[in-house]
């Protein structure tokens, strides 16, 4: 009976170890998918546009990702008689969402800033929300349809 208990314990421990390895591989696969999605965006950033609800349509003159996985995006647009340029710095969180902060400076000196997040798709496109003046607004990175 004691040998049977020890065998059952060993089998249970072995199955738990396999399940943990499978979960770790699944998590790594999800992370790699997101990193690949972000890499797709960064590699072709000039092909993308950004739709900023309440502000306008922005170009993306620069996007990089650091060795530590920090995503940096520069954007520019015209709104309310202002030429605006901004920067976003985002980091991937445990849910594979890129979260961070944005700051926009207008040509007349006005400054706007807040927090935001993006969920990236395999195409490099992304959906998210940014916060400004206590409200949430939609923000989308997309590839324009070519005519």
Q: Pick from 12, 76, 11, 69: which is nearest to 42 by CA?
A: 69
Structure confidence at residue 30 (pLDDT): 40
Q: Note the pLDDT tens digit of each residue in 27-74.
A: 443 444 457 899 999 999 999 999 999 999 999 999 999 988 899 999
The neighbour count for residue 94, using CB atoms within 10 Å, is 7
Structure confidence at residue 6 (pLDDT): 58
Read off the tokens for 28. Answer: 């790594």
Structure confidence at residue 51 (pLDDT): 97
Structure confidence at residue 94 (pLDDT): 85
Place of tokens 């929300």: 129
Residue 82 has pLDDT above 50, yes or no: yes
Structure confidence at residue 76 (pLDDT): 97
Structure confidence at residue 96 (pLDDT): 86
**Helix (H/G/I), strand (E/B), else coil: 31:** helix
Average pLDDT over residues 7-12: 51
Determine contact, residues 34/120, Cβ cutoff 8 Å.
Answer: yes
Domains of the chain: 38-142 (2.40.128)
């Amino acid at each position: 009976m004691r040998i049977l208990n020890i065998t059952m314990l060993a089998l249970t421990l072995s199955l738990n170890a396999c399940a943990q390895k499978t979960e770790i591989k699944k998590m790594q696969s999800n992370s790699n998918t997101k990193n690949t999605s972000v890499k797709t965006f960064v590699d072709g950033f000039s092909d993308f546009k950004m739709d900023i609800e309440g502000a306008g349509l922005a170009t993306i003159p620069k996007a990089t990702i650091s060795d530590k996985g920090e995503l940096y995006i520069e954007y520019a647009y015209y709104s309310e008689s202002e030429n605006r340029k901004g920067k976003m710095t985002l980091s991937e969180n445990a849910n594979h969402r890129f979260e961070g902060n944005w700051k926009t400076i207008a040509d007349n000196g006005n400054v706007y800033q807040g927090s935001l997040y993006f969920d990236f798709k395999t195409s490099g496109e992304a959906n998210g929300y940014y916060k400004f003046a206590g409200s949430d607004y939609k923000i989308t990175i997309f590839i324009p349809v070519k005519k």
